Amino acid sequence: MFSKKPTTIQQQIAQLQKRGLQISNVPLAEKYLANISYYRLGEYWYVMQEDKENHTFKPNSRFKDVIALYNFDAELRLLLFDVIEKIEISLRTKLIYNLSHEIDPWWFCNSEIFIDRLQFTRTLAKIEEEITRARSKDITIKNHFKKHKDDLRFPPSWKCLEQVSFGNLSKLYGNLTHKVNSKDSIAQEFGAVNHTYLPSWLQSIAQIRNFCAHHSRLWNRNLPGTVKLLPKPPNPWITDIDNVPKQHEFSKLYVHMCLMKYLLNTIQPNNQFTTRLNDLFIKYPNVDPNALGMKLNWQKEPLWQ
């Protein structure tokens, strides 16, 4: 039976010091622990512990390095959230435009163009929830229902899908039947050649977006799922074969950031992703790039130029 009692901030600091964590500025540490929970910070000092059972720290482990890791991770999430926003808006635009012209404005309600009917039903139910929430808040949706009271359908995709999450957009795209021409044409616009590769990219990016949105740790995290890499990408990629992420490295963030960069290069050429990411590593020199799966001289690859 769980029997631990809550500890005060002062007790938390005393415990960390007893276990070997160096805290040079106790009042500052108290301020941090008053605003960032002990267990949230614990995700960053875990790797500094020599004995994971007794939670004792390695020699020269410092609280200020824990905070540096925490701040690096927070800034990394903001950077990736900004990149993912551009990918999300582009995907949304391409889905609405291409499929509305190929099928009709209500293509997302048409079960005939989707592979997995059960997944389609679940996704459509989630879209209905999102539209119901937007009906009382979003002026476009509100005015649509007010103006078209007798039309019991969803609003058309150019109104409706603006309210839909990236996760549901990626599910809509991935579940499209291969007979839908737009599935390949959208992939080609992103430089992904055909529908084989893009769904796994979007799924992984949607998961990372959720981590960013919920302020969850990305540094030193094993990410779920996997991705399919193009054997011969048509756009600039990685030329050094040793720098191409291998299957066993797909749980690290680097391969997913490579895919974000690849997509972003088609959306916004001459973007600043490389500079901003490199600046983060310069700003926080104590951060181990290997914890993210970074490759040696990664920024010199054509992909990151």
Q: Per residue in 137-159, pLDDT tens?
A: 888 888 887 888 777 788 999 99
Q: Which of these, 58, 87, 73, lies nearest to 280 by C-alpha position?
A: 73
Q: Are 84 and 208 within 8 A, CB to CB?
A: yes
Distance in angstroms (rounded) separating the CA atoms of residues 117 and 103: 18
What would the mean pLDDT of 291-303 be, rounded to a whole number? 95
Q: What percent of the chain has pLDDT over 90?
A: 88
In this predicted structure, what is the pLDDT of residue 226? 85
In this predicted structure, what is the pLDDT of residue 134? 76
Report CA torsion sign: 278, 237, 250, 248.
negative
What would the mean pLDDT of 44-55 be, rounded to a whole number? 95
Distance in angstroms (rounded) separating the CA atoms of residues 141 and 183: 27
For 106, the token pair is: 């209500």
Distance in angstroms (rounded) separating the CA atoms of residues 174 and 197: 10
CA 41 and chain centroid, separation? 21
* Cα separation of the two ends of the chain: 55
Q: Per residue in 243-267, pLDDT tens?
A: 999 999 999 999 999 999 999 999 9
In this predicted structure, what is the pLDDT of residue 144? 82
In this predicted structure, what is the pLDDT of residue 147? 86
What would the mean pLDDT of 92-113 be, rounded to a whole number? 98
In this predicted structure, what is the pLDDT of residue 4? 83
Distance in angstroms (rounded) separating the CA atoms of residues 121 and 133: 19
Alpha-carbon Rg for the chain in angstroms: 23
Distance in angstroms (rounded) separating the CA atoms of residues 248 and 225: 12
Q: Are 88 and 202 within 8 A, CB to CB?
A: no
Distance in angstroms (rounded) separating the CA atoms of residues 182 and 251: 30
Distance in angstroms (rounded) separating the CA atoms of residues 242 and 110: 45
Q: What percent of the chain has pLDDT over 70?
A: 100
What would the mean pLDDT of 99-120 be, rounded to a whole number? 97
In this predicted structure, what is the pLDDT of residue 224? 80
Q: Which of these, 96, 101, 84, lies nearest to 267 by C-alpha position?
A: 84
In this predicted structure, what is the pLDDT of residue 60? 96
Q: Per residue in 57-90, pLDDT tens?
A: 999 999 999 999 999 999 999 999 999 999 999 9
Q: How confident is the model at residue 191 (pLDDT cuts 50, 70, 90)?
A: very high
- The per-residue pLDDT of the chain, averaged, comes to 95
In this predicted structure, what is the pLDDT of residue 113? 98
